[in-house]
Amino acid sequence: MADANEPGPEGKRHLVSNNVSYPAIKSINLEECRAEKSYKLTVEQKPSSIPKRRQELLKWNGWGYRDSKFVVNKNGHVEFTGERYRLSNTVMPALRDWMINTVGISLEHQQPAQPELTAADIVAPIVNEGFLEDMQRTGISFTDDPQDRLFRAHGHTLHEVFILREGKFKRIPDLVLWPVSHKQVQTVVELCSKHNVVIIPFGGGTSVSGALECPENEKRMIVSLDTSQMTKILWIDEKNLTACFECGIVGQDLERRLAEKGYCTGHEPDSIEFSSVGGWVATRASGMKKNIYGNIEDLVVHVKVVTPRGVISRNCQVPRISAGPDIQQFILGSEGTLGVVTEVIMKIRPLPECQKYGSVVFPNFEKGVDCLREISRQRSAPASIRLMDNEQFQFGHALNPEVKSVLASFVEGFKKLYITRIKGFDLQNISVATLLFEGTKEEVANQEKRVYEIAAQFGGIPGGEENGLRGYMLTYVIAYIRDIGFDYYIVAESFETSVPWDRVLDLCRNVKDRLIRECKERGVQFPPYATCRVTQMYDAGACVYFYFGFNYRGVGNPVKLYEDIEMCAREEILANGGSISHHHGVGKVRKRWLGQTISEPGLGMLRAVKQYLDPKNIFGNNNLMIDSKL
Amino acid sequence: MKPGEDLSPTSWVKKDQPTDVSTMAHYKDGGYEDVLEERRHTSDLKYAMKSRPDVPRYKYCKPRTPAEIKTQVLNSDRLRYTIEKISDATKTSKEEIMKEAGSILDDMAHNLTVGVVRSVAFFLIKVFKSIFSRIYVNKEGIQMLHRLLHEYPVLLMPTHRSYLDFLLVSYIFYEYDLPLPIIATAMDFQGMKFFSWVIRQVGGFYIRRAFGSDTLYWAIFTEYVQTHLRNGDAPIEFFVEGTRSRTAKSYQPKIGMLSASLESYFKAELPDVMVVPISISYDRILEETIYAYELLGIPKPKESTAGLLKARGVLSNDYGSVHFHIDNPISIRLFSSNKIDRVQHALEPRYINNLTAQEKDVMVHLARHIVRQQQGHMVISPWALMASVLMQSREGILLRQLIKEVEWLKRQTSNLGAYVNWPGNTSSESVVQHYLSLHMNVISISETGLIELKLVLPSHMKKPVADEVMLNAATNLILSSYRNQLLHVFVQVGMLSLVVNTSPQVTMTMEDLYQGYVFLETLLQKEFVFLQGETKKEFEWAVLTLNHSGALAIKDNHVLVKQSINKYTTFFSQMFEPFLLGYWVLCQYFLSLPGDIQGKPLPRKPKNFTKEAQKVALRLLQENVIRHYEILSLDLLGNGLLALVEMGCMYKDKRWVSHSVTCHTRSVTRHT
């Protein structure tokens, strides 16, 4: 996303760039505040970057914007279309060969997706007449348009996207609702409870846990409660450095509009372009820069939730409280099973003066992990640090654009020579860490010095700003690559976990080994691609992210095959002391491990809360602890 | 084809003498190839100096020297934790404990050195060429290992019948450019300075036989084994039977070494561990005589260097051929999946020793499974068949008769799925004669052509054993050890035959048959290796086998006893009779024990029990009541005692206490 030109209604701006310059509007705003005898800034309301009819801007059967995708151009090279990203409109000459050599694709063998589904292909809705009559009286916007309903029937797991490309959902929402305020949400929940209609809250639709899928055997009417029209920043409190957001505002809008006032939340999940505040809370999201700003649970000061039992709220917005077990923690990660998050008060920070990328090249992944462990021990982590294994480094390399100038090519060659010849690194083993520093100029300088010093102890050498920037940019682009893979018989997915430091290396190695072995044993004809990176670090451990894909040409039922293999990988993760999930959540796809993760009494606790708040299972998306009996 | 070339129908035969026993070894049956063949035609020195370029290495291995390994062991988390704990508990300084740890490790560690390996290879190949006619290796196994050693850490688990076992493994790994294994060796060798040094240099590391509660020793040992496994420096070789089997039957497996290694997998330090069972079958076992005397309770001579050198006389003998079968690997992941939950170790540091009950259970299962897999690939020597027949011909047997019986037994053995090393291109007579000539030390052929047992005097005994019975017994035990090589094949059908043969009824229900079978399996549980939970399955298999070969007559789900007592069942029963007789003697002895005031027998040590039971047996033999010399075997009596304990006829407290054995004595008697 780095340097991505995000089209807001007001035009484009750089979300992140090396030297952030911010409008000097802070003082003016303060003047205004004083005039109002309040320290709370009111913010001009603007519509969301994502339209109500999402499919007009976003792909209906893949990731991200319609205009941005990898295609094989007429010269047989891979190209990334559009103008949004740094990589947009560039040709990547090495990528085709990488795809052919690493995952065994063949340009002759394609598996195109089905054409856009029309009303005739989409199942008819189940209608609860009484509910619909009451609904019409409320004046809340809603639709039963088939394509709108289809768009809200899924997230982005392999299974869901594959259905969009090649099949049909058996069950999709019967109605889409767009409330615009907390009050309207209350009305919706009350009506649904009254008429026994199921609500599935929908935020940005970026779920990768199957959380948005409708339970196939749900006979009641299902409404998709789309929060995308609740995008207001209700206030900004400069005294306390907090801001109150409506749940539907998406990350890019939130940061853009806070930046106009000189602030940020610093919460940057990889899905920041599309995911919403309410979704972050409901899934316990994690942001790339959590080392400075914290994860969502650290950022949230207060949450307001509408449940069938009523509104859950605290009577104060305080930094910490001892009032029994934290009820907000029940909401964080509740995945839409208990109610709808409507308003969230989050911490904000003044925009950093300076932002700088960096990278370190290590002779191998092991050294890299040792270095990260040491940085964590010394608590000197920059805003973000991510360590890619060799396979991922190779992939990043394959995404290099055409070298346009002789000088650039010369510099590249020189760098390679330096690393391999002078430092004696083996390109088949090296591992690269990308870094992002934030703070004042001096802070950044100090952080840089410290990190590079520690890296040097582990044989790491600085790899330049450009490589760091590219690394972060790839994060956003990599989500798009799966769609071109589908066209060539590749199924791929990412999954993540958190793990104590002493088990990081064993886990990475064992899980990759398991993935490759399971592919072999299940008759996959081509070598699979299994790679990982360490994306977050904590005092007691780290978050590890895996990418895994394979060419399924010659074997049947790729989705089932993929899911079976990912299941084995998750079992391996758990056996290696890893968690069920670090930030993707449980949803439906990881439900089977929830019991053993939190113990049966723990599961019972969740069920008891569910039973009290939602005895009729109005929030019946079937995620987490909800079993079919409930 | 060039003119003048031999156009005879047998022109493809190199040496056209189908009946010559010496040619029969050329075959490459079952994928075996003779390693010695090439060595006999090339220079040993060149062989010892050959380069080994393509030795496979575990893909995640980081090369280290033996010295580096030691340092890493001493600095490991496990050791630091253990030392800390001991230091707190005993108020000893950590330095002191560390020093002790260092010396334990020095005693333990191997020092694998290529130079010494080459000299040993040079020496070994000469010895092997002189004592063995062939060493057969299954080529497929070698190829499998080449691939496997690259992918996963490997545990090699050979059968253990002789000291030659580990030398053979190392030799064959050298020969085929495989990484030399490191070998867990008992402390027995440490008395022999030179050999002890050599063994260290070729990868041997020493472990004490018993170190139950010594936590420091256990920690060092575990870490030492695991560090090799984790880094995959070399395949690790150890013997699941714990020690050389003196009886040539598989011993009950031990799990100490297995659990020390597999902890690494249970705690997810490794993606998988591969266990490769290796079955080594000898035509003639080097230590046959020593074993026989050991079994009779004459202490084994301490393995001193001098003793081994003296054994060189033995080395000039012909020991026939060896079959070295590398079996399919057992993946620990697959073996243990659904049986254990590795997640249970997620809440503790992994260096704290705490295996779960399920994990221990899996290892017991696995150990038995390994033994059974080893047995499955033992190659049955014709001599084992001959020994079985000879054991049942106490008055001697004529060659013609012997051939006939052996051929019959060969068919039965094959029908039970065992691989008999019987050359197809040679007459049975020459095969039998060949093996008789190999074992003339226990066999004599009278002028009338009667083949019978010979008495032996072991070379290392200064004074001959006075008692004629003991002498006969020794010869007998040697012979029986070869029959024993056949028993794992026949044990299920043997037990079934015993039940049928001892039935007083005319017909028997299948349930009764099964109950009898279960009782025998329980009784013989220390004698043979049975798989837990597979009794019913194996019983059914045995019923089917006997039924289909015509030995067991079944009508309306009932066994017709009379029709079922035939040559098959009688022969199979007799194979196992000595064990039951031995146990019967044991029971007789227990019943004769004087009681204390309450009429309860006095407790004693198990060793004394068996010793005294042996005396009873001796008397019975002298009086000619029983003619099976095997009942003198302390191994047999000891196994019987352990089985009785397991069955609850005896129990142990701090010492051992004998208890009523009456009811079971009756059943034992019934079966004999």
- What whole-number distance in Å separates Cα of residue B501 and Cα of residue B561? 8
Write the pLDDT tens digit of every residue in A82-113: 999 988 988 998 899 999 999 888 888 899 99
Q: What are the distances in angstroms from CA B378 to CA A310, B161, B275, B406, B481? A: 75, 12, 17, 18, 14
Phi/psi of residue A360, each to 5°? Answer: -130, 135
Residue A482 known to bind ligand? yes
Contact status of B33 with chain A (Cβ, < 8 Å): no
Closest residue in B to A512 (Cα–Cα) = B271
Contacts of B349 in chain A (CB under 8 A): 502
Q: Which residue has the tokens 């064959």?
A: B172
Q: Position of tokens 């992939």?
A: A395
Distance CA A78, CA B96 (A): 66
Range from B161-170, B562-571, B582-591, B657-666 carrying the lowest mean pLDDT: B657-666
Mean pLDDT over B568-582 rounds to 92
- pLDDT tops 50 at residue A500: yes
Look at A160-169, A525-534, B303-312, B632-641 and tell me which has the smallest mean pLDDT: B303-312
Region for residue B624 given its phi and psi (left: phi exceeds 0; alpha: psi -120 to 50; beta: otherwise): left
| DSSP structure string for B425-436 | TS-HHHHHHHHH
B271, B343, B350 member nearest A513 (Cβ): B271
Rounded Cα–Cα distance for residues B625 and B648 (Å)? 29
Cβ contact, residue pair B268, A576, below 8 Å:
yes
Question: 3-state class of A435 per DSSP?
Answer: strand
The sign one gets for the Cα dihedral B166, B168, B174, B176 is negative
CA distance A429 to chain B (A): 12
The three-state (H, E, C) secondary structure of B14-35, written as one string: CCCCCCCHHHHHHCCHHHEEEH
Residue A398 amino acid letter: A
Residue B268 forms contact with A (CB below 8 Å): yes
Check if A462 contacts B (Cβ < 8 Å): no
Q: What is the pLDDT of residue B598?
A: 60
Give the CA count within 13 Å in the CB-facing half-sphere of A625: 24
Choose among B269, B272, B341: nearest Cβ to A506.
B269
A567 touches chain B (CB under 8 A): no
As beta bridge partners, residue B330 has: B275
Q: How high is the pLDDT of residue A419?
A: 75
Predicted TM-score (pTM) of this structure: 0.88
Contact B278, B156 (CB under 8 A): yes
Q: How confident is the model at residue B595 (pLDDT cuts 50, 70, 90)?
A: low
Q: How far is CA A213 from the centre of its chain?
A: 17
Largest CA distance in chain A: 77
What residues in A contact B60, CB-CB < 8 Å? 509
**What pLDDT does residue B16 have?**
47
Q: How distant is the Cα of A588 from the closest Cα of chain B, in angstroms?
A: 21
How far does B60 lie from chain A, in Å, by closest CA?
9
Answer yes or no: are the C-beta atoms of A273 and A250 closer than 8 Å. Answer: yes
Judged by average pLDDT, the poorest of A106-120, A411-425, B406-420 is A411-425
Q: How far is CA A273 from the centre of its chain?
A: 9
Map residue A452 onto helix, strand or coil: helix
- Looking at the DSSP assignment, which residues form a beta bridge with residue A492? A549
How many residues belong to chain A? 630
Chain mean pLDDT for chain B: 85
Q: Which of A491, A495, A523, A527 lies closest to A508, judged by CA? A: A495
Main-chain phi, psi angles of A91, to 5 degrees: -100, 135
pLDDT band for A410, please (50, 70, 90 cuts). low
State the pLDDT at residue A319. 94
Q: What is the pLDDT of residues A195-205, one digit of tens each?
A: 999 999 999 99
Residue of B nearest to A521 (CA): B334
Please give the pLDDT value at position B12. 47
pLDDT at A320 exceeding the cut of 70: yes
Using alpha carbons only, give the angle B627, B630, B631 rounded to the nearest 5 degrees: 80
The CA distance from B410 to B400, in Å, is: 15
Mutation test of the interface with chain B: which of A497, A510, A592, choosing the one with the most B Cβ atoms within 10 A? A510
Q: Is A545 a catalytic residue?
A: yes
CB of A558 closer than 8 Å to CB of A491: yes
- Can you give the three-state secondary structure of B441-484, one letter per residue? CCEEECCCCEEEECCCCCCCCCCCCCCHHHHHHHHHHHHHHHHH
- Number of CB pairs < 8 Å for A and B? 33
> Which tens digit of pLDDT belongs to each residue from B427-447?
889 999 999 988 888 888 888
Residue A356, φ and ψ in degrees, nearest 5: -145, 140
Asked if pLDDT for residue A29 goes beyond 50, the answer is no
Between chains, do A577 and B349 touch, taking CB under 8 Å as contact?
no
Q: What is the full DSSP assignment across B344-397? A: GGTTS-TTS----HHHHHHHHHHHHHHHHHHHHTPEEPHHHHHHHHHHT-TT-E
Indicate the helix (H) or strand (E) that contains A617.
Answer: none
Q: What residues does B452 pair with on adjacent strands?
A: B444
- CA gap B116, A61 in Å, rounded: 67
Contact of A467 with A359, CB cutoff 8 Å:
yes
Q: Say yes or no for a CB contact (<8 Å) between A575 and B349.
A: no
Residue A228 has pLDDT above 90, yes or no: yes
Taking alpha carbons only, the member of A598, A469, A447, A474 closest to residue A547 is A474
A100 shares contact with chain B (CB less than 8 Å)? no
Q: How far apart are CA B478 and CA B456, in angstroms?
A: 10
Mean pLDDT of B479-485: 94
**Of the listed ranges A411-415, A619-623, B53-57, B218-222, the one predicted with least confidence:** A411-415
Give Cβ neighbours of residue B189 (< 8 Å, ≥ 6 apart).
Answer: B195, B196, B199, B204, B206, B303
- Give B345's contacts in chain A (Cβ within 8 Å): 577
pLDDT, tens digit (0-9, with 9 covering 90-100), for B365-400: 999 999 999 999 999 999 999 999 999 988 889 999
Nearest CA in chain B to A568: B337
Token pair listed for B410: 């060969």
Q: Which chain B residues are Cβ-neighbours of A573 within 8 angstroms?
A: none
Q: Over the stretch A332-369, which tens digit does the pLDDT of each residue have?
A: 999 999 999 999 999 999 999 999 999 999 999 999 99
Q: Which tokens sit at A485? A: 């893979």
> Does position B354 have pLDDT exceeding 90, yes or no?
no
- The per-residue b/e assignment along B46-82, b for 16 or more CB within 10 angstroms, e otherwise, is ebbeeebeeeeebebbeeeebeebbeebbebebbeeb
Q: Is A341 annotated as a binding residue?
A: yes
**Is there a binding annotation on residue A27?**
no
Instruction: With cut-offs at 50, 70 and 90, classify the pLDDT of residue A594.
Output: very high
Nearest CA in chain A to B342: A575
CA distance A387 to A366: 10
Q: Do A575 and B268 touch (CB under 8 A)?
A: yes
A10 falls in which pLDDT band (50, 70, 90)?
A: very low
pLDDT at residue B168, as a whole number: 95
Closest CA of chain B from A232, distance in Å: 44
List the catalytic residue out of A293, A357, A480, A545: A545
pLDDT at B465 > cutoff 90: no
Cα A578 from Cα A580, distance rounded (Å)? 7
Beta strands in A132-189 (DSSP E): 141-143, 175-178
pLDDT band at A298 (very low <50, low <70, confident <90, very high): very high
The mean pLDDT of B257-277, rounded to a whole number, is 95
